[in-house]
Chains A and B, each alone.
Chain A
Amino acid sequence: MSAAAAGNPWGQPNATLLDALGDAVLPAALGADGVARAIAEFQRWMDGYQPGAEANHGYGTGRIEQLPADPRPRWRSQLTALDSDARRNGASFSALPRERRQALVRAALQNESGDALPNPLLARHVALALLAHFYDSPAATDLCYDAQIGRQQCRPLSAQRQQPVALGRKGR
């Protein structure tokens, strides 16, 4: 289900814009359903976020830190800005062809320093956050490797000896 159809708390028109953004930045290899699923998971993730919660302070540091402020207001503004840029060229962001939406996103991300995808909570742009959230997922790893790895999911210990099965063989 698309973000717009789900009536998410971003509210119209942001949900429509988010769908258009996801279609522009996520791999088409996911298929329409896969893109919609990735966007929906991004929304669920945002909705579950608790700003200021205590961050993990695992082995190696005595510092206690809190998670950052809610990024959603900034990300909403950036979606709106993408739409405004598009409208200056005669159409809403969601109405633009994929290539033109990608060009607007590329322009917005061109000045990002480094090439690493950040922790999505620290992403300075909503497009980067969506990319980082998807590519951090077990589904993205499976897609990249064309294999049923199931990273960070509960799996039988004994199965770790075997080479992961290809995605195309799922369900056999």
Chain B
Amino acid sequence: MTLVRRQGRAEVIESDICIIGSGITAAVVAEKLAEEREARIVVVEAGDDTVPLSDRAAHRARFVAYGESPWGRDHIDGMTADGIQSRSMQVGGLAMHWGGVTPRFSPEDFRVQSLFGLGHDWPVTYEELDPYYHEAERRIGVAGEQGPPELDPRSNPFPMPPLPLTYNLDLLKRWTDSAGIAMWSQPSAKNSVAYGGRAVCCRNDTCAPVCPVGAKYSPDFTWNALRASRRVELLPRTLVRRLVVEDGSNRIARAEAVRRDRGGANGSPVHFRARTFVVAAGYAWSPHLLLVSRSERFPQGIANRSGMVGKYMTGHRNVFAFVKLPLRLYPGMNEQHSLVTKQFMRPAKLDRYVRHDLRVWESSVGRRPRLKGDDGAVLLGDELLADWRRRSTQGTARVRAYYDVIPDRESALTLNDSATNAYGDPQPRLTFRDSPESAALRAHTEDSIKALFQRMARAGNGEILRSGVDDFQDHPAGGCRMGDDPAASVVDSHGRAHDHENLFVVGAPTSVSGGCANATLTFLAVALRQATEIGREFRGRSGGSRPGNRE
């Protein structure tokens, strides 16, 4: 389906759409395009193929026993960023490791400037994204419970019933009810019923880093179906090093890459030519590719006339606490499942700006077996067990709030010329920075959330064992911000680069801000809307048949 030829030393692969990256965003974009459009689609992934589902139970067993990585060679030596939070460069990307937590952002997340006078609005509203949220939920399979409609609006039901609350979460929900907080089952990309040809969750408790039964969605399932259907050609072990612009126009002519598994240490050069290029390489490697594509004609890199590539890197910060409660909780009922609320997404008009989500889990903090008693004496035999039993009559809840951080323009990904990969390409450096108004609110925000935790503890006759704030920004995004103004953004709301008509950036890097909830589903909804625009240039596929057996 793709045309392969040689030009000098380089192999040339021609297609209609060339997608760079194979993470979760690339997977849903490729699936949608393959379903709906007559187009030759090539996907280029720098990393290796991932561990097949059939091997995951054995890999998980070794992870549980020894802490071994269950994902084999999921990274490339020398390919890392200063400041990166996680590494997973393989088919499926970081979502091979993810926890499968899939809340939507709230409508307010997209309009913080209009509603609260802070930061920037997104060039797309929640209402516009709603059908794409639903499409994302359907494609990856989300089990969820409808929250109160005024807090959790949606025009379609979840494709799967919610994961049931555990015995522990039911007790904890009564506790949060008593504190005046309405909570419900966290939406998750985990099968509460058989879905997409995959199994029902059976509570192995290792969703992150690995689900051994395939009940949690991971992108390899989509790639397997797409490869089997022959509608998509996926080339692993192929690193795109730069995009090259056509002489005499602003169109992207080719992606220059190297096949890492051919041609010895230097690899074998390969050029990808396509009508449309889609950069779907996540928050770090997408802006990195645009910057590293700098040339004499584009000294700041591709799509960067505004100087905005790599700017406004964003995320959210979390405040957490462990609350001891007079409840008999059983560890390991389904540890990674939680309660969630959106009750704190809307600050009262007279309050200073504080917005956050809230989640509650069972926890074993403060009630694990221990070697020494209160007097410092070593505990052995029945003494140790008795000590553990005595301390386990009460339970612990883990509570955590992600709060909104408004990114500074100089919250940035830059090229680190002192760190290069095996091919001599500089690697990214990430420096997250709060905007001045967000920095000024930080102490107030964190104090407010800790006060909420104290109020919750009192409502349950409990006590805070410890609390804290993680200093990093979670669920990082941005770097190729979308917007209507070409001087202040990299792509439009459909992901099309302002500077190059046939270049799209999709998903996380196009985010304007990090919101205050796990962001993957929002990245997917944004990307599916962007894929709709990408697909318009190609003839529709009659019937729109799905490549894989999913439901």
Q: Report which A residues bind B (CB closer than 8 A).
A: 24-29, 45, 48-50, 53-62, 64, 67, 98, 102, 105-106, 109-110, 112, 114-117, 119, 121, 128, 131, 135, 138, 140-141, 143-145, 147, 149-158, 160-164
Contacts and interface: CB of A to CB of B under 8 A. Distances in A.
Contact of B330 (A28, A131, A147, A158): A147
A32 B279 CA distance: 61
A56 B68 contact: yes
A157 B202 contact: yes
9 contacts: A24-B380, A28-B381, A116-B371, A117-B368, A145-B331, A145-B392, A152-B204, A156-B203, A163-B330
Given A140-B369, A152-B204, 11 more contacts: A29-B382, A53-B62, A56-B68, A67-B66, A67-B67, A67-B68, A117-B371, A149-B332, A150-B332, A154-B202, A157-B163
B84 interface: yes
Contacts of B448: none
Interface stretch (B46-54, B383-391, B418-426, B449-457): B383-391
Contact of A27 (B163, B332, B385): B385
Interface string B312-353: 000000000000000000111110000000000000000000
B202 A59 contact: no
Q: Select the residue from B68, B170, B208 with max chain A CB neighbours within 10 A.
A: B68
B75 A64 contact: yes
B67 A121 contact: yes
B203 A117 contact: no
B361 to A, nearest CB: 13
Contacts of A150: 332
A27 B80 contact: no
Contacts of A109: 371, 378
Contacts, number: 168
B369 A155 contact: no
Contact of B65 (A45, A59, A64, A117): A45
Interface in B68-91: 68-70, 75, 80-81, 84-87
A54 B72 CA distance: 8
A156 B373 CA distance: 37
B67 A55 contact: yes
B63 A56 contact: yes
B213 A115 contact: no
A10 to B, nearest CB: 18
Contacts of A149: 330-333
A53 B203 contact: no
Contact of B167 (A55, A59, A64, A162): A162
A59 B382 contact: no
A143 B68 contact: no
A52 to B, nearest CB: 11
B369 A135 contact: yes
Contacts of B380: 24-25, 102, 105-106, 131
A141 B209 CA distance: 22
Nearest to B367: A144
Contacts of A60: 85-86, 472
A24 B331 contact: no
B167 A163 contact: yes
A170 to B, nearest CB: 16
A31 B475 CA distance: 48
A129 to B, nearest CB: 12
Nearest to B85: A60
A80 to B, nearest CB: 20
B533 interface: no
Contacts of B87: 57, 62, 64
Given A131-B371, A160-B166, A55 B68 contact: yes
